[in-house]
Amino acid sequence: MKEAGSPSRFPSSDPQLDTARHYETPEGIALVMRVAGPVVRAWAWAIDLAIRAGVYLLISIPFAYLGGIGTAGTLIGFFLIEWFYPVVFELRSGSTPGKQAMGLLVLHDNGTPVALSPSLIRNLLRAADFLPFLYGAGLVTMLLNRDFKRLGDMAAGTLVVYRDIPPERHPLPSAAPVALPGDFTGEEQQVLLAFGERAARLTRERRAELAGILSELSGREGEAGVEKLYAYASWLARGR
Residue 200 has pLDDT above 90, yes or no: no
Q: Are residues 63 and 155 in the same domain?
A: yes
Q: Are residues 47 and 115 in the same domain?
A: yes
Q: Are residues 42 and 158 in the same domain?
A: yes
Strands 104-108 and 158-162: antiparallel
Residue 78 has pLDDT above 60, yes or no: yes
3-state secondary structure string across 139-160: HHHHHHCCCCCCHHHHHHCEEE
End residue of a domain, out of 113, 134, 162: 162
pLDDT for 6: 46
Please check whether residue 99 lies inside any domain of the structure.
yes
Confidence band of 224 (pLDDT split at 50, 70, 90): confident
- Say which range, 14-28, 154-168, 197-211, has the weakest mean pLDDT: 14-28
Residue 141 has pLDDT above 90, yes or no: yes
Please check whether residue 28 lies inside any domain of the structure.
no
Q: What is the mean pLDDT of residues 211-240?
A: 79
Confidence band of 210 (pLDDT split at 50, 70, 90): confident
Please check whether residue 193 lies inside any domain of the structure.
yes
Q: Are residues 150 and 177 in the same domain?
A: no
Q: Are residues 109 and 61 in the same domain?
A: yes
Please check whether residue 80 lies inside any domain of the structure.
yes
Q: Are residues 39 and 146 in the same domain?
A: yes
Residue 118 belongs to domain spanning:
35-162
Work out the burial of residue 105: count CB atoms within 10 Å of its CB; fewer than 13 is exposed, 13-18 middle, 19 or more buried. Answer: buried
Q: Are residues 6 and 81 in the same domain?
A: no
Confidence band of 4 (pLDDT split at 50, 70, 90): very low
- Per-residue burial over 7-24, b = 16 or more CB atoms within 10 Å of its CB, e = otherwise: eebeeeeeeeeeeebebe
Confidence band of 26 (pLDDT split at 50, 70, 90): low
Confidence band of 87 (pLDDT split at 50, 70, 90): very high
What's this model's pTM, rounded to 2 decimal places?
Answer: 0.63
End residue of a domain, out of 119, 142, 162: 162
User: Per the structure, how many domains does the chain have?
Assistant: 2
3-state secondary structure string across the chain: CCCCCCCCCCCCCCCCCCCEEEEECCCCCEEEEEECCHHHHHHHHHHHHHHHHHHHHHHHHHHCCCHHHHHHHHHHHHHHHHHHHHHHHHHHHCCCHHHHHCCEEEEECCCCECCHHHHHHHHHCHHHHHCCCCCHHHHHHHHHCCCCCCHHHHHHCEEEEECCCCCCCCCCCCCCCCCCCCCCCHHHHHHHHHHHHHHHHCCHHHHHHHHHHCHHHHCCCHHHHHHHHHHHHHHHHCCC
Q: Are residues 141 and 177 in the same domain?
A: no
End residue of a domain, out of 139, 162, 185: 162
Q: Are residues 236 and 146 in the same domain?
A: no
**Greater confidence, 184 or 143?**
143
- Average per-residue pLDDT in the chain? 82
Residue 17 has pLDDT above 50, yes or no: no
Please check whether residue 25 lies inside any domain of the structure.
no
